[in-house]
Amino acid sequence: MGLSVAKDELYYIYVLRVEGNGWYVGSTQSFERRMRSHFGKGGAVATKERRALEIEEVFELRDYQIRTDCAHERAEVLIAQRYAQLYGMNSVRGAKHGKGWNDQPSPGNLRDIERYNKFATSIEGERLLAALRRIDPLTLLPDRLNGALTGLASTPAPISTT
């Protein structure tokens, strides 16, 4: 990934549970629009191949620059990696973990994941994880996408660096 330039804007990093015991991790500035896409006919390759079932968790983050990356990009990968550690690398897509369910992360993405995992244990990484604010997705989706969301998962364990 080349240089990403962060703007002082609000991002939402989200985790979707998808068919086949999978998880999709993404980020957006327009949460309602992106959820309509994932739960409709659009969305990412991974949610076209495996239907999104529910929103597992959502974090809010005011973006800022971390060296050559945007903070929301690093946070997205760290959250995806937490799910990969819990459920296995083949159960997670998005955030450098592959686009489709038959894809594997590229060698470059695997290097980035390893680099971000090291970053997570640094003071700057701990600061980023502390800046993530868990929010209730229903506050962002007052109409529950016209009934597309049948239920929201219980709150999982907090983000950790281990």
pLDDT (0 to 100) of residue 149: 58
> Looking at the domain assignment, is residue 24 inside a domain?
yes
> Looking at the domain assignment, is residue 112 inside a domain?
yes
pLDDT (0 to 100) of residue 1: 42
pTM (two decimals)? 0.85
> Looking at the domain assignment, is residue 149 inside a domain?
no
Measured on CA atoms in the order 156, 77, 93, 111, is the torsion positive or negative? negative
pLDDT tens digits, one per residue of 29-85? 999 999 989 998 888 888 999 999 999 999 999 999 888 889 999 999 999 999 999
pLDDT (0 to 100) of residue 38: 92
Rounded Cα distance between 59 and 5, Å, is: 20
Residues 21 and 13 sit within 8 Å (Cβ to Cβ)? no
Domain boundaries, position 18: 10-142
Rounded Cα distance between 92 and 70, Å, is: 21
Residues 159 and 79 sit within 8 Å (Cβ to Cβ)? yes
- Among 112, 96, 108, which residue's Cα sits nearest to residue 44? 96
pLDDT at 150 over 70: no
Name the domain count of the chain.
1
Q: Is 89 helix (H, G, I), strand (E, B) or coil?
A: helix
> Looking at the domain assignment, is residue 80 inside a domain?
yes
> Looking at the domain assignment, is residue 2 inside a domain?
no
Rounded to an integer, the average pLDDT of 139-155 is 60
pLDDT at 27 over 90: yes
